[in-house]
Chains A and B, each alone.
Chain A
Amino acid sequence: MEHTYQYAWIIPFLPLPVTVSIGFGLLLIPTATKNIRRIWAFTSVLLLSIVMGFSANLSIQQIHGSSIYQYLWSWTINNDFSLEFGYLIDPLSSIMSILITTVGILVLIYSDNYMSHDQGYLRFFAYMSFFNASMLGLVTSSNLIQIYIFWELVGMCSYLLIGFWFTRPTAASACQKAFVTNRVGDFGLLLGILGFYWITGSLEFRDLFEITNNLIHNNGVSSLFATLCASLLFIGAVAKSAQFPLHVWLPDAMEGPTPISALIHAATMVAAGIFLVARLLPIFIAIPYVMNFISLIGVITVLLGATLALAQRDIKRSLAYSTMSQLGYIMLALGIGSYRAALFHLITHAYSKALLFLGSGSIIHSMEPIVGYSPEKSQNMALMGGLRRYVPITRTTFLLGTLSICGIPPLACFWSKDEILNDSWLYSPIFAIIACFTAGLTAFYMFRVYLLTFDGHLRVHFQDYSSTKNSSSYSISLWGKEVPQAVNRNLPLSTMNNKVFFFSKDMYKFDNNLKKCIRYFNTSFEKKYTYMYPREVDNTMLFPLLILVLFTLFVGSIGIHFDQGVIDLDILSKWLTPLTNLFHPNSSNSVDWYEFFTNAIFSVSIAISGLFIAYILYGSAYSFLRNLNFINSFVKGGPKRIILDQIKNGIYNWSYNRGYIDIFYTRVFTMGIRGLTELTQFFDRYIIDGITNGVGIASFFIGEGIKSMGGGRISSYLFFYLFYASISLFIFLFFL
């Protein structure tokens, strides 16, 4: 048993050889490396499976033995300063590593097929293996510097993978945006680390917790400074987990390949921020202001993410906002101190969201041959619809994922979300009301995504009715020659045309509008593609989906309380015992089943009402209702309706324009930095360099002047001599 712990250092290093060998292979012997590309993919899956075996073993030992192991090596030794490297195996890291490896393996298998026609197949696997390595390093690290190191490395992997299709200008700016936004978080993280180093003189977790708690209890450190440092640490988590002020990178990050979105931007890397907060919770919990701050940020993100997801047309983008909102739930749970619920939701959400993203990937994959390879079109839900006939298996898995995120009982996310909602009622009613409202919104927008994608008829083929003469105005090549601002520029037009997909008020004139909007969306395709239909993807891609469905179905059970005689602890509580004991030394795990049922019924009813509203507005019931002239009678409302419309438009515009936050950031920060840049550039060029050049020019003129004076003509010498002599004589005579 001890042996596994001793060799646990190998966990982050195992996926690394693939990256190194692919990297050098591609640089030095590209052809040979490319010929055996499947072997590389197989190797990376194999190595990751070994890691999974390791971490499963460790997790089982954690569940039974539940003790914390730590090993350290020195990294740099100075006389007054030493940095150590080590690994820490505790429940948190074992949970995270098992999450990373399971999702990682499935995503690798999936992307073998998804990326098989891509030129960058090997590059993709190199990046993925490197990401896995650094993410595993992050979760097993034992001090703050190590966390920082891997924190930046996963950020770099995310940068590389978002910019994977680097010929697209949108991807290019998205990856830069992601890196810079994350760097803002790293800035906070580094300052926080330095601040805590200054306070405690240590970077290692356990020393840090002890010393900090001692100091705070004895008033050994000014509470203001400690709060500042803790908030700075939290900024790192805010950026990585896409919380409110720094969430802007996540939706843009969907420019990367879909398997990446599933692994990095839904399941693992965005969970790193949660992981950091969970890891440092002993510090945060000692400073109540920071806990309040965390829960406030969490609840803002919950609401913001849900409202922004309401009107997205891009399927991956709406999933991204949903991720943001769910991460907000987890952050809220951490902020109110319910550690177990947060980790539970982290696990369930990771599997469900990975399932949804992989499902959306297979939808995109099957749409691509029909609408073209631009993300503007292949990810556009306005062009989908009725896919349930063509991709039945994907549809079933996607539906299960959707229901899980919505919080419908037997599925995973229900259990965890219910727990968070319960705990938030205990903390603050306002937060709880917002959280419950957002649970309804979640059900609404998730089901909207499902209905727009799978329900109704395939809207691509409506283009047959529309004339094709306008179509050449908006052509997008495979390599993405389109200017990045095109979306923004078309905003007024698209909001006009697409209102139909949001609220039902325009539905009675759907027939007129439909042509317009379809004409807008569907642009230059070849005629021959017109009658193609989407096909179900290959088995290699379906296999991970099915495995994830199993996870989504059953992973909730680790957190359910089973009454088994004396010990009525669930697996998760048992797993987390050493950590939860840190926070709540005398908490009893008794569960009142009656209370549980009433709460569950409440949250499920909210979710179902959300589903129902979505079904009314977007479902195929639309035609049914129209036949009954139901909508016409419903929408004739008089003055009240106008106000209602304005509200709807307001919400729609808010959501479609991403809450105007991106525009605001562009205006303020980008323009501000540009202005500063121009100012310093001007200063540097015309003032600092100007002085230098001015000295040069002045010396040139002086030299020329002297040269022309000293030209060798006796007459000019005589002239100057007499001139100065007369002036001095003049001065001498009159002034002295």
Chain B
Amino acid sequence: MTSYFPWLTILVVLPISVGSSIFFLPHKGNKMFRWYAICICSLELLLTTYVFCYHFQLDDPLTQLEEDLKWIDIFDFHWKLGIDGLSIGPILLTGFITTLATLAAWPVTRNSRLFYFLMLAMYSGQIGLFSSRDLLLFFMLWELELIPVYLLLSMWGGKKRLYSATKFILYTAGGSIFLLIGVLGMGLYGPNEPTLDFSKLTNQSYPVALEIILYFGFLIAYAVKSPIIPLHTWLPDTHGEAHYSTCMLLAGILLKMGAYGLIRINMELLPHAHSIFSPWLVIVGTIQIIYAASTSLGQRNLKKRIAYSSVSHMGFTIIGIGSITGMGLNGAILQILSHGFIGAALFFLAGTSCDRIRLVYLDEMGGISIPMPKLFTMFSSFSMASLALPGMSGFVAELLVFFGIITSPKYLLMPKMLITFVMAIGMILTPIYLLSMLRQMFYGYKLFNVPNSNFADSGPRELFVSICIFLPVIGIGIYPDFVLSLSVDRVQAILSNYFHR
């Protein structure tokens, strides 16, 4: 069944186009902009849900809701959109997190028009990226992401915001060069006219050397975004300085673009190179889990500690992708979603508490649980979720990755045992840094010498945001088939490439 109504185009264009009219609104205070932005976001989310409910067949592993419009004819550049089981999860995550981030950004008062417009522009770019079916379009939307983030960071950030913003833009733009090389190399290779279409490229085969070069180019771009060590140092700086609503978008969605691209392009289009590179991915992922966890333990800055924890968690995704098994890949996708929720929530809570007590260093904090019990509750819950407590989404994802690496036919017994062992050590390190963070922040007792030390607890808006994120975390943890049923068929289709060739 093909729907002729261009649902996806509407979904992609709606936020940025309607959002740009925020500049024409009469200036009647921030309240109006807030409500306008939140209305657009929720409208978009509702529309997305509607489209996915009624125009998307779950049991069909093929690309659906496809749209194909010619854009530039000379090199076969199309406005080609379409979704499958792999991209539906990240798109829904994007809608959800962006809506909540807009809600979380209410305290932003300085130049709020531009702020909300940039958030909406990011919204468009992300949905477009996750649904694009054309390589060059993918690249363009990938680049489109950078500008709003740069502006959000450099205008509403903390003290060192210019340094962080420059670092962010240089890192990611540097990565994008390799992405562009890969895109052009892949598109221009071939006997006849250039092709940039995903579905045509899937069946194309390359000489091994070229495939490895292309794979490597894409890998660098995704490694910057994802991040994979040693290209991760932009992340703690960026997260440490950005406003917490930006952090939610960064941790919740932007990091997921790297992992998504790794599955979408490297796994799907370059299977040979992926099976050559996958042991290295697994090794790097394992090192990353341990390395980032132990670095996180050494951070004094609260936000940086959480940032390193997300680097550590992305290690599981990389291992899942590298394991080339159905379970591992499902686990990786689940980890993308689960960390999207948990990371966003942790940054949100960290940001709100830092704003209240006006401290960022952990060793200066302490004893704020008495004035802020609700914040304490939510922070503890999400820390537990982040350390993969069973019953929450992180546990299922990590368990699936573990099973994926155990059952993978690609690796021998000894390497498997070693990798599993080291991954499991990460399981010990994770509670150490998260719980000591909790202890330093909340436990104990401290007399605040600040004259107006009557900190307000979380208000209803903040409580709403955290509970909204908490429900899917619990939901996925208790019944993971909600999400797995989306991606399971598609994963099977991707993996069938590896066994047929």
Contact = CB atoms under 8 A, between A and B. Distances in A.
A64 B97 CA distance: 56
Contacts of B229: 688
A176 B373 CA distance: 19
A27 interface: yes
B464 to A, nearest CB: 10
Q: How large is the interface on B (under 10, 10 to 19, 20 to 34, 35 or more residues)?
A: 35 or more
B327 A80 contact: yes
Nearest to A676: B294
Contacts of B481: 75-77
Contact of B488 (A23, A79, A194, A678): A79
A677 interface: yes
Interface stretch (A163-171, A360-368, A577-585): A163-171
Contact of A152 (B234, B299, B390, B403): B390
Given A81-B403, A180-B435, A688-B230, A76 B390 contact: no
Given A673-B432, A692-B233, A197 B406 contact: yes
A12 to B, nearest CB: 12
Contact of B391 (A80, A149, A172, A680): A149
Contact of B233 (A168, A184, A680, A688): A688
A479 B429 CA distance: 30
A560 to B, nearest CB: 40
Contacts of A160: 380
A642 interface: no
Interface in B445-498: 445, 463, 467, 479-481, 484, 488, 492
Interface string B176-217: 000000000000000000000000000000000000000000
A26 to B, nearest CB: 8
A689 interface: yes
Interface string A598-611: 00000000000000
B389 A156 contact: yes
Interface residues of A, number: 55
A27 B467 contact: yes
Interface in A72-97: 75-81
B427 A187 contact: yes
Contact of B445 (A481, A673, A680): A481
User: Looking at B435, B467, B480, which has the most chain A CB atoms within 10 Å of its CB?
Assistant: B435
Interface in A672-720: 673, 676-678, 680-681, 684, 688-689, 692, 696
Interface string A444-475: 00000000000000000000000000000000
Contact of B291 (A75, A149, A156, A680): A680
A152 B391 CA distance: 10
Contacts of B436: 176
Given A78-B484, A677-B298, A148 B431 contact: no
A280 interface: no
Contacts of B380: 160
B170 interface: yes
A190 B390 contact: no
Contacts of A150: 390
Contacts of B367: 167
A215 interface: no
Interface stretch (B80-88, B148-156, B337-345, B417-425): B417-425
A357 B373 CA distance: 30
A148 B488 contact: no
Given A179-B435, A187-B427, A190-B402, A153 B444 contact: no
A186 interface: yes
Contacts of A78: 326-327, 330, 484, 488
A249 to B, nearest CB: 13
B264 interface: no
A677 B294 CA distance: 5
A684 B295 contact: yes
A145 interface: yes
Given A76-B484, A194-B420, A197-B403, A27 B374 contact: yes
A416 to B, nearest CB: 33
A172 B443 contact: yes
A173 B374 contact: no
A28 interface: yes
Contact of A180 (B373, B396, B432): B432
Contacts of A79: 326, 488, 492
Interface in B297-334: 297-299, 325-327, 330
User: Looking at B171, B384, B436, B445, which has the most chain A CB atoms within 10 Å of its CB?
Assistant: B445
Given A149-B390, A194-B403, A187 B428 contact: yes
B370 interface: yes
Contacts of B384: 156
Contact of A190 (B167, B299, B427): B427
Interface in A169-225: 169, 171-173, 175-176, 179-180, 183-184, 186-187, 190-191, 194, 197-198
Contacts of B492: 79
A480 interface: yes
User: Looking at B230, B396, B431, B479, which has the most chain A CB atoms within 10 Å of its CB?
Assistant: B431
B49 interface: no
A262 B330 CA distance: 43
B390 A81 contact: no
Interface of A: 23, 26-28, 75-81, 145, 148-150, 152-153, 156, 159-160, 163, 166-169, 171-173, 175-176, 179-180, 183-184, 186-187, 190-191, 194, 197-198, 479-481, 673, 676-678, 680-681, 684, 688-689, 692, 696
Given A167-B370, A692-B234, 11 more contacts: A76-B481, A149-B395, A153-B390, A167-B369, A167-B445, A187-B425, A194-B402, A481-B445, A681-B298, A688-B230, A696-B170
20 contacts: A23-B377, A26-B377, A75-B479, A75-B480, A78-B326, A80-B327, A152-B390, A152-B395, A153-B389, A159-B435, A166-B442, A166-B444, A176-B439, A180-B435, A187-B424, A191-B421, A194-B406, A673-B297, A688-B230, A692-B234
Closest 5 CB pairs of A and B: A172-B443, A681-B298, A149-B390, A677-B298, A689-B233
